Chain A
Amino acid sequence: MEASTYIKRGASGRIAIKMGSRPERIMKWTVTTLVILTVIAFLLFDYTGLDLTTAIPETLDNLKTMFLEPALSHFTWGQAFYQLGVTLGLAFLSTILGGIIAFFLALLAAANLSKSWISKTVRIMVAFIRAVPTVLWVLIFAIAAGLGSEAAILGMLFHSIAYLVKAFSEAFEEVNQGIIEALRATGANWWHIVIHAVLPSTFTYLLSWTFLRFEINFSMAVAMGAAAGAGGIGFELFMASGFYFDLREVGMITYMVLIFAIILEVFSTKMKDRYFPAAK
């Protein structure tokens, strides 16, 4: 970032002085705009039925009950683990299927491996899919496929594909162009190039990204259970809080999700350190 002085003369011949470089000005603008929007947001919030003096102590009290006295009352431990397994299964299936499909699409989307019009088409499609929140995909599929694991997996799959295509194709584009050209010069066909040059040099990246997506899909799967009724631990969470008002059970479920998410995160951080220590 370099600071520079812009000298421009106005209509009257005066020198207008603007300090700072373009990045600095843009940053200032961004921060100012965000602060203004935040203030507007707080002014426009719909505070219907909200009484902070009771809501805050009540929440703290609820949190205390939840986290200090967790217990299961509407289902057994076996069922709880089964439901956690369902959530994991949803996450796993959508990640693995998404990873496989995304791999092929990313080959089409990478600018150095594909024709430019194919690459652009795939990218635009993917950007469009990514812009729709996952829960909307799940709900839209739920109408056509019926509510259940199929809708949840298809919906999460769509998003996983969109996310992974972007990550994968960026990794493919970083493959040394020299290697590809060298192979091409020997008369290797497209599949040879993919299997012998692109895949070996990007495999660890692909693995890390896929695992990162698994982490995201796990929390997504919890959310789908709650919002779209796709089953699993998220649905139990929704029932416990929305129907039974059983805070202890909410606490227990939250703990289970939390512990599992932390295990996944530790694992994924380890993988990241191992496979891209020199990232950035």
Chain B
Amino acid sequence: MSEKTIKANRKWHTIFFVFLIAVMTFASITITDFNIFHGIATLPKAIAWIFSNMWISQETWERLPTILEKLLETVLVSIAATTTGTVVAFFLSLMGSKTTGRSTIWGAFARFVASVSRNIPVVAWALILLLSFGQNSMTGYLALFVGSVGFLTRAFIESIDEASQSAVEALRATGATYFQIVFKAVVPQCLPQLISWILFMIETNIRSATLVGILTGTGIGYTFDLYYKTLNYNAVALVTFSIILAVIVIELMSNYIRKVII
């Protein structure tokens, strides 16, 4: 192919690509009934509204202890879901990884479990579990747990595959048993990566926990929903700011840990 045809091809690709995006955008606007001008027009209005209504007033501060208690509950649920999810995900990823997996059937099983639990949205899990677990922290915890297992398994498999090939071979040559290989070669090598993924999962889970909380009536999400529905926007602002603060603090902490260990 001469340079000219490549260039012409690329031009056609670009035109096709832009056209495709334009068509899809138009289709999306039609199907969702999204009025782009109205959307743009509401944006300043929305921001003006946020600035004029979302102030934390004096009497809202009295609600702070309740809000903080719920926030703590949400943070703890996220952490618990992540750590317990890690344990399950670790074993699944040992099965699913190419270097440590022993049978293809179990490997495929692990990948399948991970894929299904990850791709069903956390919201769907929350709604499914809500039916029999009722409104309590357990429902939120389990919904986050299932999602964490799915995500962490995928991430762990990648980390294990990447890190441990030569060390595993070396240990296998000495006649080490399977669990000796896992705990002396695989774990020490991947640990920084694994911890980094765990921290990332905690951050993600805190955000999803708010969403799950709205649906399952637990934690900070429920508090938000309650004030939101009773039009107590000052309290809504306080809840939002406390969530922002918690997320930023956890993000900074995990960034620090990640910087040191990797």
Chain A residues in contact with chain B, CB under 8 A? 1, 22-23, 26-27, 30-31, 34-35, 37-38, 40-42, 44-50, 54-55, 58-59, 62-63, 66, 82, 85-86, 88-90, 92-93, 96, 127-128, 131-136, 139-141, 143-145, 148-150, 153-154, 219, 222-223, 226-227, 231-232, 234, 237-238, 241-242, 245, 247, 250, 253-254, 257-258, 261-262, 265, 280
Task: Pick out which of these stretches binds chain A: B56-64, B92-100, B124-132, B164-172.
Answer: B124-132
- Flag if A242 contacts B127 (CB, 8 Å): yes
Minimal beta-carbon separation of B261 from chain A (angstroms): 5
- Flag if B131 contacts A143 (CB, 8 Å): no
Task: Pick out which of these stretches binds chain A: B1-9, B30-38, B178-186.
Answer: B30-38
Of A46, A92, A140, A154, the residue contacting B39 (CB under 8 A) is A154
- Flag if B34 contacts A144 (CB, 8 Å): no
Q: Which 5 A-B pairs have the closest CB atoms?
A: A89-B28, A144-B46, A41-B76, A58-B132, A41-B80
Question: What residues of A have a CB within 8 angstroms of the CB of B132 in the complex?
Answer: 54-55, 58-59, 62
- Flag if B210 contacts A127 (CB, 8 Å): no
How far is it, in angstroms, between the C-alpha of A44 and the C-alpha of B74 when the chains are bound?
Answer: 11
Q: Does B157 contact A (CB under 8 A)?
A: no
Which of chain B's residues has its CB closest to A148's CB? B33
Of A86, A140, A219, A226, the residue contacting B31 (CB under 8 A) is A86
- Flag if A55 contacts B214 (CB, 8 Å): no
Of B46, B83, B133, B251, the residue contacting A154 (CB under 8 A) is B46
Indicate whether A262 sits within 8 Å of B21 (C-beta atoms), given known contacts A85-B31, A144-B50.
no
Which of chain B's residues has its CB closest to A25's CB? B260
- Flag if B21 contacts A30 (CB, 8 Å): no
How far is it, in angstroms, between the C-alpha of A216 and the C-alpha of B191 when the chains are bound?
Answer: 27
Question: What residues of B have a CB within 8 angstroms of the CB of A41 in the complex?
Answer: 76-77, 79-80
Chain B residues in contact with chain A, CB under 8 A? 21, 24-25, 27-35, 38-39, 42-43, 45-46, 49-50, 54, 73, 76-77, 79-80, 82-84, 115-116, 119-124, 127-138, 141, 162, 191-192, 195, 198-199, 207-208, 210-211, 214-215, 218, 221, 224, 228, 233, 236, 240, 243-244, 247-248, 251, 257, 260-261
Which of chain B's residues has its CB closest to A227's CB? B214
Of A59, A250, A258, the residue contacting B116 (CB under 8 A) is A258
Of B83, B129, B192, the residue contacting A38 (CB under 8 A) is B83
Given A222-B124, A232-B32, 11 extra CB contacts under 8 A: A27-B261, A59-B133, A88-B28, A140-B46, A141-B42, A150-B38, A150-B42, A154-B39, A250-B124, A257-B119, A258-B116
Question: What residues of A have a CB within 8 angstroms of the CB of B83 in the complex?
Answer: 34-35, 37-38
Indicate whether A131 sits within 8 Å of B251 (C-beta atoms), given known contacts A37-B76, A241-B131.
yes
A-B contact pairs, 10 of them (CB 8 A): A27-B192, A38-B80, A45-B137, A47-B138, A62-B128, A93-B28, A132-B244, A140-B46, A141-B42, A144-B50
Question: What residues of A have a CB within 8 angstroms of the CB of B224 in the complex?
Answer: 136, 139
Question: What residues of B have a CB within 8 angstroms of the CB of A258 in the complex?
Answer: 116, 119-120
Chain B's interface: helix, strand, loop or mixed, by majority? helix
Indicate whether A265 sits within 8 Å of B124 (C-beta atoms), given known contacts A22-B260, A50-B134, A144-B46.
no
- Flag if A27 contacts B191 (CB, 8 Å): yes
Question: What residues of A have a CB within 8 angstroms of the CB of B80 in the complex?
Answer: 37-38, 41-42
Question: What residues of A have a CB within 8 angstroms of the CB of B199 in the complex?
Answer: 30
Question: What residues of A have a CB within 8 angstroms of the CB of B34 in the complex?
Answer: 89, 93, 149-150, 153
How far is it, in angstroms, between the C-alpha of A79 and the C-alpha of B244 when the chains are bound?
Answer: 38
- Flag if A49 contacts B31 (CB, 8 Å): no
Minimal beta-carbon separation of B16 from chain A (angstroms): 14
- Flag if B115 contacts A92 (CB, 8 Å): no
How far is it, in angstroms, between the C-alpha of A265 and the C-alpha of B24 when the chains are bound?
Answer: 19
Minimal beta-carbon separation of A56 from chain B (angstroms): 8
How far is it, in angstroms, between the C-alpha of A86 and the C-alpha of B116 when the chains are bound?
Answer: 23
Indicate whether A237 sits within 8 Å of B123 (C-beta atoms), given known contacts A37-B79, A46-B218, A132-B240.
yes
Minimal beta-carbon separation of B205 from chain A (angstroms): 11
How far is it, in angstroms, between the C-alpha of A223 and the C-alpha of B127 when the chains are bound?
Answer: 11
Of A35, A54, A136, A245, the residue contacting B240 (CB under 8 A) is A136
Question: What residues of A have a CB within 8 angstroms of the CB of B207 in the complex?
Answer: 133-134
- Flag if B124 contacts A26 (CB, 8 Å): no
Indicate whether A23 sits within 8 Å of B38 (C-beta atoms), given known contacts A90-B32, A222-B123, A257-B121.
no
Question: What residues of B have a CB within 8 angstroms of the CB of A86 in the complex?
Answer: 31-32
Indicate whether A144 sits within 8 Å of B49 (C-beta atoms), given known contacts A222-B123, A257-B121.
yes
How far is it, in angstroms, between the C-alpha of A253 and the C-alpha of B77 when the chains are bound?
Answer: 27
- Flag if A149 contacts B32 (CB, 8 Å): yes
- Flag if A265 contacts B191 (CB, 8 Å): no
How far is it, in angstroms, between the C-alpha of A57 and the C-alpha of B177 when the chains are bound?
Answer: 37
How far is it, in angstroms, between the C-alpha of A140 and the C-alpha of B244 when the chains are bound?
Answer: 14
Of A46, A55, A154, A219, the residue contacting B43 (CB under 8 A) is A154
